[in-house]
């Protein structure tokens, strides 16, 4: 029998005293046990705060939170659950997490087909084995400094026939990229937390990338700090070693001095030639670019491609 959500009894609606007794193992009443286990093949019950909803959504890789409210059941949609006939989970009782752990302790991977987006580096001195990162080997594109992941997630969704790696040093930003990638259920997206220059020079296998995306890197505007810029005099050589023949580097910045340096650096090489940025790519803004454009700040774009035959 399905529960009556309009019923005002302690069977389904906890007051604060009921909630305290329900969460304290010493005060658990036998009548509460069927409430937790009766719906285990179809529904689970637990009163949740908003923070609990977010935590459980991440824990069980929920496809969608349909409703979340302290006075009504919270509804999660979980796709592909190994539990028989589970399509919705109504969380309303402290027993549900224990029951879920007992019934499916090893089945989280079956519920969440998307593997971890943040890739834990096995070594910081050995080049990556790209076969370990992605379920399918495809042309690889890399964003150096992925910010909050807005651009990379949108682009990875738009181009599923390519694999993408977002390289970001800041933990908060790379977690945003992971959350967005999981919501989009992207199997072709990974994130690596490390300095961009180090990743490109030491960890990326030679001539493995089809494109490098460098959008709004730190401009280091003070003259004495310009040596810290990512795109320096030796960058084209490093980028050419990372790209396969015909690969491209796409760049954007709001700093005119940095943009001038970019053009000088790439213009002084024999193995890169300027090319237009594809319209579909230019139409995808980054988080920084969205902010700049909202304030009327002009953004500058450039793109360079290697020769089809390696020099």
- Rounded CA separation 58/214 (Å): 29
Beta bridge partners of 191: 118, 166
Pairing of strands 209-215, 74-77: unpaired
218 is catalytic: yes
Q: CB atoms < 10 A from the CB of 118, how many?
A: 16
Q: What angle do CA 185, 100, 87 make, to 5 degrees?
A: 50
Distance from the Cα of residue 79 to its chain's centroid: 19
Tell me the C-alpha distance between 186 and 130, whole Å. 16
Give me the helices (H) in the chain, please: 16-23, 32-37, 50-59, 95-103, 108-111, 130-133, 150-158, 171-183, 196-198, 235-242, 256-267, 279-282, 287-294
Radius of gyration (C-alpha) of the chain in whole angstroms: 25
From the candidates 218, 234, 254, 257, give the one annotated as an active-site residue.
218
**Which residues are the active-site residues?**
218
């Amino acid at each position: 029998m399905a529960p009556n959500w309009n019923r005002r009894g302690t069977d389904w609606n906890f007051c604060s005293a009921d909630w305290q007794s329900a969460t304290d193992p010493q005060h658990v009443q036998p009548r509460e046990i069927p409430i937790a286990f009766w719906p285990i093949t179809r529904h689970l019950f637990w009163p949740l705060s908003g923070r609990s909803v977010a935590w459980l959504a991440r824990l069980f890789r929920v496809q969608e939170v349909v409703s979340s409210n302290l006075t009504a059941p919270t509804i999660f949609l979980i796709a592909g659950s190994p539990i028989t006939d589970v399509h919705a989970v109504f969380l309303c009782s402290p027993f549900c997490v224990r029951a879920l752990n007992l019934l499916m302790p090893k089945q989280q991977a079956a519920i969440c087909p998307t593997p971890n987006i943040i890739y834990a580096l096995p070594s910081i001195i050995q080049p990556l084995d790209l076969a370990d990162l992605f379920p399918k080997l495809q042309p690889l594109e890399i964003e150096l400094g992925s910010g909050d992941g807005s651009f990379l997630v949108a682009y990875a969704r738009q181009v599923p026939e390519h694999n993408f790696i977002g390289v970001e040093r800041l933990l908060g930003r790379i977690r945003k990229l992971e959350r967005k990638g999981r919501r989009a259920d992207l199997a072709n997206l990974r994130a690596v937390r490390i300095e961009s220059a180090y990743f490109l020079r030491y960890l990326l296998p030679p001539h493995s990338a089809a494109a490098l995306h460098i959008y709004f890197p730190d401009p280091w505007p003070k003259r004495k700090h310009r040596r810290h810029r990512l795109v320096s005099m030796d960058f084209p050589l490093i980028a050419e070693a990372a790209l396969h023949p015909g690969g491209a580097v796409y760049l954007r910045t709001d700093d005119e001095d940095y943009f001038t340096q970019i053009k000088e650096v790439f213009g002084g090489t024999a193995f890169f030639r300027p090319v237009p940025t594809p319209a579909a790519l230019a139409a995808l803004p980054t988080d920084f670019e969205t902010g700049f454009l909202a304030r009327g700040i002009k953004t500058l774009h450039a793109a360079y491609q290697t020769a089809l035959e390696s020099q």
